[in-house]
Amino acid sequence: MRVGIIGHASRLERENQSWANDDTVFFTVREALENSGLSLEDIDTVVQAGDDVMDGIAIQHVYTVEPAGSLLKDESKVERDGAWAVHYAIAKLLSGKFRTAMVIAQSKGSQCNYSAFSGMSADPFYLRPVGLDGFSAGALQAAYFQAESGATEEDFALVAAKNRRNARTNERAIPGEAGEFTTDQILSSPAIATPIRDLTAARAGDGCVVLLLASQEFIKERGLNAAYLTGVGLSSDVYYPTFRKLGQVESAGHAARAALKMAGVSVEAIDFVELHEVFAHQELMLYEALGLCPPGGARQWIQSGHTERDGTLPVNASGGALCSHVVYATGLARIMEAYLQLVERAGDGQLNNVKRALVHSQAGLAMQANIVYVLEN
């Protein structure tokens, strides 16, 4: 039995002061159903992804049960990025109990900024602000990577320039994030936490992403166009950042190898990649961790153009997380972008002759946990 993606919708914005989360979920779910030609009655199970701390509400997803159309349906929540909710939905579909699933991920960064939210996760027991947040943890990681690899801020700027340039053809990216930037412009943008700068960091916005999944049997019965999830792997490293090899992402490597093994393919068979890079330096680290380039080869890869849209292995042709970061929906958006490429619905950003994608998402401070998928058309 195989599971495929059959529909999608997204609404990613810098901020939306007019709508609450439940409004965003309602309209995005409605659009996903319209896009796929399915009705709410066709959906057997719903998996939501969100966070109590981010929303400032205990058991936050109870407020979106009805807007998500999951009232009186099998319904559950994953307290992690929607990419992990897809993993749970796949398990439900492969159980044979359900034939269709809807995955919904949302958050509202304008009401809880990334620093405050990620800072609470630095102390998972009492949520005390201990002075470490996602930015400072990411900066420590970047410094370790620079020391081990020789990577420079100029290399990070090349990643940011590529992704922000790519996003110009992606109507689903957050407005205002795409653009044609020189490395000098990126390097002169305001510093956040050295060596992270405003234009080398993903700025959290508001929004929602919805994906519709179905069993192969359902897809064939309805004659639907689908992209199949043929491999998945996930791995988590130790919690405290300095207890890890911070200049590497070993858990991402474990996840990628498991996903490729399940799909029965090698990394050389991949046509394009979607990565969840909260900071530009993380994309370089993931090149090596996922086996896209030889160990120590990330600098050469970004400098030589291998990962450009017209390169040997396009990476983040959508603009990546740098241009579409909605906490808890960013990884799900990477899966959505890969799906749209494979079914040739990516619009002006469509790549040519792509058959297989590798998709990555992360969670935790400094990429503690990672999940990787292989998608095929």
The model's pLDDT over 287-310, given as tens digits with 9 standing for 90+, comes to 999 999 999 999 999 999 999 999
The model's pLDDT over 162-171, given as tens digits with 9 standing for 90+, comes to 999 999 999 9
This model's pTM is above 0.95: yes
Calculate ∠ Cα 86-231-138, nearest 5°: 65
SS3 332: helix
CA–CA gap between residue 126 and residue 319 (Å, rounded): 36
In whole angstroms, how far apart are CA 49 and each of 41, 175, 253, 268? Answer: 21, 23, 24, 32
The model's pLDDT over 6-26, given as tens digits with 9 standing for 90+, comes to 999 999 999 999 999 999 999
| Longest pairwise C-alpha distance within the chain | 55
- Neighbouring-strand partners of residue 233: 372
Q: What percent of the chain has pLDDT over 70?
A: 100
Whole-number pLDDT of residue 241: 87
SS3 204: coil
Question: Which run of H or E residues covers position 91?
Answer: helix 82-94
- Neighbouring-strand partners of residue 15: none
Q: Which of 203, 204, 208 is nearest to 109 (CA)?
A: 204
Phi, psi of 346 (to 5 degrees): -85, 5
Cβ-based burial of 72 (10 A; exposed 0-12, middle 13-18, buried ≥19): exposed
Residue 130 has pLDDT above 90, yes or no: no
CA–CA gap between residue 119 and residue 137 (Å, rounded): 10
Whole-number pLDDT of residue 358: 99
Beta strands in the chain (DSSP E): 3-13, 45-49, 74-78, 100-108, 191-193, 196-197, 206-215, 227-236, 272-274, 356-363, 369-376
Tell me the two tokens of residue 285. 């680290």
Residue 126 has pLDDT above 80, yes or no: no
CA–CA gap between residue 275 and residue 361 (Å, rounded): 7
The model's pLDDT over 175-225, given as tens digits with 9 standing for 90+, comes to 999 999 999 999 999 999 999 999 999 999 999 999 999 999 999 999 999
For the ranges 45-54, 125-134, 274-283, the lowest mean pLDDT is seen at 125-134
- Which residue ranges form the domains of the chain, and what is each CATH number? 3-112+205-222 (3.40.47.10), 114-201+228-376 (3.40.47.10)
H-type alpha helices, 167-249:
183-187, 216-222
